[in-house]
Amino acid sequence: MRTTGMVRRIDELGRLVIPKEIRKSMRLLEGENVEIFVQSDQLILKKYSLVKRISDFAQDFTDAMYSFLKENIIITDTDSIIAASGPLKKEFLNQYLSDAMLLSIKRHENILEKHKKILEIVTNKKIECTYVLKPIFVRGDMMGMVIIFSIDNRLSEVEEKVANIAAEFFMKYLEE
């Protein structure tokens, strides 16, 4: 564990402000959840991702979807890729999302792009493709996104419906 040299006071309501530099480096956004651990006399804060807890299940799910669609499929939480299937799986799995994708998540974008456009899913990895972006909401909070994209083919309403089904499935699964 490394020290930051920063000291903060707990206010009368028990609140502690996490410095902006730390929030930025950890990609903590306003309204996100933080998990609290206690280890002897240490208080440990960890970014919490409900979606990341089911990454093994999400990987099996994307593999099954890929066997049907034969297109690249990605499941994200609010800052990284937790599952990926398709020819570009190794390039994306466990990578942090680009600022453009973080903005799409923040805006709750739901897009079917039928004509090839540049999409930057992870930083410095721009691809020209057709794509579907479908947000995953749990109890009204944005938890991640389903992304289906194709470099060679034009995506249709079929892929959009599959993305909708996947997002709805994860929503119901995570609410339980």
Q: Are residues 84 and 132 in the same domain?
A: yes
- Residue 167 and residue 135 in contact, taking contact as beta carbons nearer than 8 Å: yes
| Domain membership of residue 43 as a residue range | 1-48
Q: What is the pLDDT of residues 136-150, one digit of tens each?
A: 998 888 889 999 999
Q: What is the pLDDT of residues 29-84, one digit of tens each?
A: 777 778 888 888 888 887 776 667 788 899 999 999 999 999 999 999 988 999 99
User: What would the mean pLDDT of 107-117 be, rounded to a whole number?
Assistant: 93
Domain count, the chain: 2
- Residue 115 and residue 128 in contact, taking contact as beta carbons nearer than 8 Å: no
Q: Are residues 64 and 116 in the same domain?
A: yes
User: Which domain-ending residue is among 10, 32, 48?
Assistant: 48
Can you give the CATH number for the domain in which 20 is found? 2.10.260.10
Q: Are residues 56 and 44 in the same domain?
A: no
Q: Are residues 67 and 30 in the same domain?
A: no
Can you give the CATH number for the domain in which 70 is found? 3.30.450.40
Helix or strand (DSSP H, E) at 116: strand 111-122
